[in-house]
Amino acid sequence: MNGAVSKTVEPLRAPRVRIPASPLLDSSNIFSLLIVRYGQIILPCGLFPKIGYRMGRKEIRLVCFVLGFNIIGLCSARGEDLPLKIFGYFQTELRQDNDSGHASNSFLLQQLNLFLQRDLATDWTSFVNFEIINSYSSFRDWGSFNLEEAWVSYRSSDQFKFKVGLQIPEFNNLNIIKNRTPLLPYIFRPIIYETSFGESINLDVLTPNRAYAQIYGSIPSHGLKIDYAGFLGNSSNVRTSEQVRAMAGGNSLQSGVDTTNGFMVGTRLGIRYKGLKAGFSTTHEKSNTFVGVENFLNQPASNYTYIPLVRLGSDLSFNWKDFAVEAEYADARFTRDIAPGLKVEAEFFYVTLGYYFNDYLFVYGSLSQLRIEEFVIDASVDSVGDTVYSGFAMETDVVLSAAGFSYTFNERLTFKGQMLLADLDEKRALPNNPNPYYRTSRGIDRYAVAVSIFF
């Protein structure tokens, strides 16, 4: 198939496009007046200078972001020797859900990513990625607004590069490009990569989503390309703002920092040969996630500090004629039992088979499964009226079947359709007992159409 650029190395993606610099922002867009008084903002509008809008603290950060973004655009217009590239992606959808007989319809701005990129010097590049999820609105308490990436990179050659700063590390094939929605055929990505599910699923468990230092490259050898990466990041013990507010003397504490003396360490090793790409990934860290559980399960406190958390991943993708196949596997487990017979582990795989009808139309079918083994602490009252705490094992099994298409209208506009059928099964059992005493199942059907834009 002539012109199918994406088929040579990365299957299941729309044709790659060049990313030009977006038109620079006009300084006239900057708001004329910004008054901060007693923790509030009074912002007169440009068209109606006599009408003010009063904003609370919750929205101040968003206004400051918009104002700062305009100032960046103005500065870039003056710095002609170092142009700032502003571009991004977004995807909006219309879907129908049927959850165990309950039907609903909804529009949703599923995801928007805004990128800022500037070349600092020869072989040095800086990059910032802002991400908006689920029709974000701070006023309505919808979705989320995140700083996903902010890094600087140096490229000595294809064989050696490094990045420093907040970044998405190389782990399996899809992790690094999961937010490039126009380059993927899916509306709903494989579940551990679907950022719009992040409000209900801890997406950091199976894949590392944040690192701060990484070396990587590609070494040619006998017609092959050997890809490698090694990275460092914080462990999962990062203090949240809620924890700071809840702790005594919280004014001296800081959110967003690791509370332990260890790091997450990760690697990826892969090969590429013509249309074939394969790799193996792993990470290791020590977690204090379960500190405090000893108070309920009558276990030594040492059992719940610095529990090793290990992730393993593998990926395979290839093209054959007009067919494309992509598959991944990921496993995350705490290597120490939380209590006798209670362990925490998550396992995931997906496989997608697709066919290119031409350079524009791609159809596919996909099957995936997510299995989570964890524990729940239950409280009961004994015969003398004392509260007794006990743990029981809980296993959640999610099987998803999907079919869909993507149609690349041009390099900036892609139309998509997808059907997703999900079966959820939950079982609860006593420790070391294979027979569950509680079990529930439910089915969810979802049908959606979407448009994905590169701007």
Q: Among 14, 89, 104, which residue's Cα sits nearest to residue 444?
A: 104
367 within 8 A of 328, measured Cβ to Cβ: no
Residues in CB range of 307: below 8 A, 6 or more apart: 286, 287, 288, 289, 290, 334, 335, 336
Place of tokens 């468990």: 205
Element (H, E) at 67: helix 57-78
| pLDDT 10s digits, 269-300 | 999 998 899 999 999 999 888 887 777 777 78
Report how far residue 186's alpha carbon sits from residue 193's, in angstroms, rounded to the nearest whole number.
Answer: 11
The radius of gyration computed from the CA coordinates of the chain, to the nearest angstrom, equals 24
**Could you give the domains of the chain?**
5-24+84-454 (2.40.160.10)
Report how far residue 226's alpha carbon sits from residue 100's, in angstroms, rounded to the nearest whole number.
Answer: 47
Q: Among 228, 249, 227, 247, which residue's Cα sits nearest to residue 239?
A: 247
Element (H, E) at 242: helix 241-246
Both tokens of 253, joined, read 């504490």
CA contacts within 13 A on the Cβ side of 32:
8
Q: Counting Cβ atoms within 10 Å, is residue 250 exposed (0-12), middle (13-18) or buried (19+)? A: middle
Please give the single-letter amino acid code of residue 287. S
116 within 8 A of 81, measured Cβ to Cβ: no
pLDDT at 358: 96
32 within 8 A of 48, measured Cβ to Cβ: no
Can you list the residues of the chain whose pLDDT is less than 50?
A: 1-11, 14-55, 58, 74, 77-79
| pLDDT 10s digits, 140-163 | 999 999 999 999 999 999 999 999
pLDDT at 34: 31
Report how far residue 341's alpha carbon sits from residue 433's, in angstroms, rounded to the nearest whole number.
Answer: 8
Q: Among 402, 429, 409, which residue's Cα sits nearest to residue 95?
A: 402
- What one-character DSSP code corresponds to residue 122? T
Beta pairing partners, 336:
none
pLDDT at 6: 39
Alpha carbon of 25 to those of 74, 77, 113, 114, 156: distances in Å?
6, 8, 18, 14, 33
